[in-house]
């Protein structure tokens, strides 16, 4: 394997492969494949085009940097084309004549990404671009790129001329006030735009004597966090990200300018000017929270201050769900194991057995209950004791899931100061019977109260007490008063009505609910819709009633369908899939059996219009059949591996198999009858042979 990321055979000069970004990307992908660095040119092109569809990769200076990580790429690679007819990649200053395809292996290490990112950073420099335009041969292009990656300063006559065109820095004036700015840049792929945005900001700052800019790049390479003292000394913050800011609370209280990452590449001077203005504007938007101490800083919202309240609350609820899931999984599986070892009768005696017996005093078949009555169970001895201990442990875990949900919803809004009032509110919800609906409400209320309190300006002597004493205390009091005085009874009534409705489901109403949760589980495979259905099922599971366990079975069964359907389709009709997709399909058998819906995401991302409707139909079939058969699950996760916790396990398996078959047949039919056309660029002198149309 070559250690170079670019070779002469990956370079073509003064060509015209077509007038669209797609034609250029497919041409460069064919170069990568022909050089032996990608197993499938079509797959590489599809991955790059999928990234291009999110936002154009044109950058200032007549340059485009289509890029992606792809299963088909075997080593980090750059392919380069200098175009005779520039092509519009949605760059800020028009079409691009210099195009780099940056191809990284899907599982490539951070060292690979650092190499590719360094190349991207060089493209914001005029002298580097001038050298690319002035090169006469592919070998010269390789030398220019290698010199940049090696950090050397090779100055050709062309580079020197380009360097002289740069604006001269303004002479430093001791009396000029300096605005200190910290910035964070991040893009979804984390290869190119993250680092180009950082360099664009710092280069503009270097040409001015009135600002200092320090940037934290949150890309795919290792993230070097800004020192706390640098953040504390900053007058303003720039967030140029497409994926949010990690540990946003560090910047609490600072004036902030926010945008997508491309604006920092295209308009770095404008963003810096806005940050300078915000630094001296007392009414400027600020990062939520109070930056008076580390604790206070960490108490700021994880959500973006530039987001709407609806979006921020949605993100907070998803945060609560993500933190709740491990508790649900651990508690639910412990309950299932309790049934496995102690038998189904263990539920009625687990508390008594776990507390009154030991390994040296094992229980018999007759268990004396707290009220003096005797309960006779089928199992005895060590198995009953072990089952009771596991069941009791799981029961305690399931008992706190509403409080955990509420606590981390509040955390998603207000950071650490929201955890205590959120947890207390969730505990109140359980105590008064408001259940998970009350937990949702108390989490949001606690988070909003805590967030408001952290935004208050208080004397310095009080500031250190705010996040650890004042905010949790006042927010907890507020949540408690609201629940006991106003919200508790309505929420409890609503929860009781919901429980009664679920308990009374039968026939067509149960099947309809199965169809709905089946569609939701397969709509986005781990996204907000999927999580909403899973939350509905797991929250009800804590009540232990039969209807809730049936919903849990339908949800888990439907969630297994997407990977299984794609595995079956790729096995039966392999010609409809790329080599990488066929390999993903093999893994889909285990992922689907384990209830990991995300196993189908690679297929859905590559071909959403055919894959998603097909697997949603399969999920709806499974959900409907599971509810019709009365299958019930005492476990919230585990797939086929918790078969012992499933009532009517044969009917449940039949529902899953039927849904997987329906999904596989539909996706195969859609791919066959409505194939994706793989267009090729017209061949020019010296081009690789055009590929034939495919239906992958």
Interatomic CA distance for residues 255 and 141, integer angstroms: 43
The secondary structure of residue 690, as a DSSP letter, is P
The angle formed by the CA atoms of residues 137, 141 and 142, to the nearest 5 degrees, is 115
3-state secondary structure of 52: helix
| Contact between residue 447 and residue 409 where contact means Cβ atoms under 8 Å apart | yes
| Nearest by Cα to 409 from 382, 436, 451, 439 | 439
| Contact between residue 209 and residue 172 where contact means Cβ atoms under 8 Å apart | yes
3-state secondary structure of 559: helix
Distance of CA 70 to the CA centre of its chain: 18
Strands (E), 88-131: 96-105
- Structure tokens of 315? 């993100």
3-state secondary structure of 53: helix
Is 637 tagged catalytic? no
Helix axes 346-356, 309-342, angle to 10 degrees: 80
Residue that has been written with the tokens 């609820």 in this structure: 317
Task: Say which of 68, 112, 148, 187 is annotated catalytic.
Answer: 187
Interatomic CA distance for residues 451 and 438, integer angstroms: 20
Cα dihedral sign for 517, 523, 526, 530?
negative
Query: Length of the chain, please?
Result: 696
Is 193 tagged catalytic? no
One-letter-per-residue 3-state SS of 306-361: CCCHHHHHHHHHHHHHHHHHHHHHHHHHHHHHHHHHHCCCHHHHHHHHHHHCECCE
Paired with 215 in beta bridges are 183
The secondary structure of residue 666, as a DSSP letter, is H
Residue that has been written with the tokens 């200098």 in this structure: 82
Interatomic CA distance for residues 80 and 77, integer angstroms: 10
Element at 83 (helix H, strand E): strand 77-87
The residues carrying an active-site annotation are 67, 187
């Amino acid at each position: 394997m070559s250690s170079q990321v670019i070779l002469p055979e990956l370079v073509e000069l003064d060509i015209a492969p077509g007038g669209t970004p797609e034609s250029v990307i497919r041409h460069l992908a064919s170069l990568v494949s022909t050089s032996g660095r990608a197993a499938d040119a079509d797959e590489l092109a599809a991955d790059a085009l999928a990234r291009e569809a999110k936002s154009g990769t044109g950058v200032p200076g007549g340059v485009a940097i289509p890029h992606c990580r792809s299963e088909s790429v075997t080593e980090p690679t750059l392919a380069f084309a200098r175009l005779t007819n520039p092509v519009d990649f949605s760059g800020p200053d028009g079409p691009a004549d210099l195009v780099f395809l940056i191809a990284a292996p899907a599982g490539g290490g951070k060292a690979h990404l650092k190499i590719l990112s360094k190349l991207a950073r060089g493209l914001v420099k005029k002298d580097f671009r001038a050298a690319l335009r002035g090169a006469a041969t592919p070998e010269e292009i390789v030398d220019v790129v290698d010199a940049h990656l090696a950090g050397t300063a090779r100055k050709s006559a062309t580079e020197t001329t380009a360097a002289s065109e740069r604006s001269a820095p303004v002479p430093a004036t001791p009396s000029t006030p300096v605005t200190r700015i910290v910035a964070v840049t991040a893009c979804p792929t984390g290869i190119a735009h993250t680092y180009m945005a950082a360099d664009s900001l710092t280069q503009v700052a270097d040409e001015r004597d009135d600002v200092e800019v320090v940037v934290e790049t949150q890309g795919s390479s290792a993230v070097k966090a800004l020192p706390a003292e640098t953040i504390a000394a900053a007058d303003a913050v720039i967030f140029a990200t497409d994926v949010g800011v990690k540990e946003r609370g560090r910047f609490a209280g600072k004036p902030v300018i926010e945008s997508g990452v491309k604006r920092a590449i295209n308009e770095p001077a404008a963003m810096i000017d806005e940050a300078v203005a915000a630094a001296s504007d007392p009414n400027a938007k600020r990062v939520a929270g109070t930056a008076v101490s580390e604790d206070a800083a960490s108490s700021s919202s994880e959500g973006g201050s530039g987001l709407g309240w609806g979006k921020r609350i949605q993100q907070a609820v998803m945060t609560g769900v993500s933190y709740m899931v491990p508790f649900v999984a651990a508690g639910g599986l412990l309950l299932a194991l309790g049934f496995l070892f102690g038998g189904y009768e263990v539920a009625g005696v687990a508390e008594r057995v776990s507390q009154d017996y030991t390994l040296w005093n094992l229980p018999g078949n007759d268990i004396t209950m707290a009220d003096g009555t005797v309960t006779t169970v089928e199992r005895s001895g060590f198995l009953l004791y072990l089952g009771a201990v596991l069941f009791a442990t799981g029961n305690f875990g399931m008992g706190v899931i509403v409080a955990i949900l509420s606590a981390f919803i509040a955390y998603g809004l207000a950071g650490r100061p929201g955890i205590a009032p959120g947890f207390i509110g969730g505990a109140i919800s359980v105590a008064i019977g408001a259940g998970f609906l009350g937990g949702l409400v108390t989490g949001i209320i606690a988070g909003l109260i805590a967030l408001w309190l952290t935004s208050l300006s208080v004397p310095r002597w009080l500031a250190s007490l705010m996040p650890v004493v004042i905010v949790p205390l006042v927010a907890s009091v507020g949540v408690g008063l609201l629940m006991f005085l106003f919200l508790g009874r309505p929420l409890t009534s609503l929860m009781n009505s919901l429980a009664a409705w679920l308990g009374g489901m039968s026939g067509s109403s149960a099947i309809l609910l199965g169809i709905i949760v089946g569609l939701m589980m397969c709509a986005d495979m781990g996204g907000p819709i999927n999580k909403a259905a899973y939350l509905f099922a797991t929250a009800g599971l804590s009540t232990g009633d039969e209807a809730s366990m049936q919903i849990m079975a339908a949800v888990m069964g439907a969630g297994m369908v997407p990977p299984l359907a794609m595995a079956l389709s790729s096995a039966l009709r392999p010609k409809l899939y790329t080599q990488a997709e066929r390999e993903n399909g093999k893994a889909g058998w285990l992922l689907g059996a384990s209830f990991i819906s995300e196993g189908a995401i690679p297929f859905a991302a590559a071909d959403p219009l055919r894959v998603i409707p097909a697997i949603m139909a399969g999920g709806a079939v499974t959900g409907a059949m599971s509810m019709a058969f009365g299958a019930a699950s005492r476990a919230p996760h585990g797939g086929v591996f918790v078969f012992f916790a499933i009532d009517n396990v044969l009917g449940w398996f039949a529902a899953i198999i039927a849904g997987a078959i329906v999904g596989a047949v539909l996706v195969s039919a859609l791919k066959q009858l409505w194939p994706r056309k793989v267009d090729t660029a017209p061949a020019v002198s010296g081009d690789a042979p055009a590929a034939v149309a495919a239906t992958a």
